[in-house]
Amino acid sequence: MPVQRLDAQGLARRVGHPKDGRARLVATTDARRELMAERRRAQCARVADLLATLPEQGVQAPLEAMRTAVPIVQRMVQAAPQPGVSGGGSAP
């Protein structure tokens, strides 16, 4: 989604770069964070509903896979380059 649309919807805003006055960064807003939290809750509810339809032994395999995958994904997210952060990704 283009930044202009996110800005118009109040989900993002442009801010000045703290060290380079020529550059602009895109920051998320509280409204965007609330929207994403709401979507995560809805997604969790859908997954719970789907898991509830499985027999007990059918639930254990996906749960075990999630227990294994979640910490790995969290480490990947934490290690991902962050634009504007020393050592992170670079802005165009």
Q: Which CATH architecture has domain 3-78?
A: Orthogonal Bundle (1.10)
Q: Does 86 have pLDDT greater than 60?
A: no
Q: Does 92 have pLDDT greater than 50?
A: no
pLDDT tens by residue, 38-83: 999 999 999 889 888 988 878 888 888 989 999 999 999 999 887 6
Q: Output the CA–CA distances (angstroms, integers) from residue 84 to 28, 40, 69, in the order listed.
A: 14, 26, 28
Q: Does 7 have pLDDT greater than 70?
A: yes
The answer to whether 26 and 5 are in contact (CB under 8 A) is: no
Give burial (CB, 10 Å; 0-12/13-18/19+) of 7: middle
Q: Which two tokens stand for residue 64?
A: 């075990």
What is this structure's pTM? 0.55
Exposure string for 10-19, b = 16+ CB within 10 A, e = fewer: ebbeeeeeee
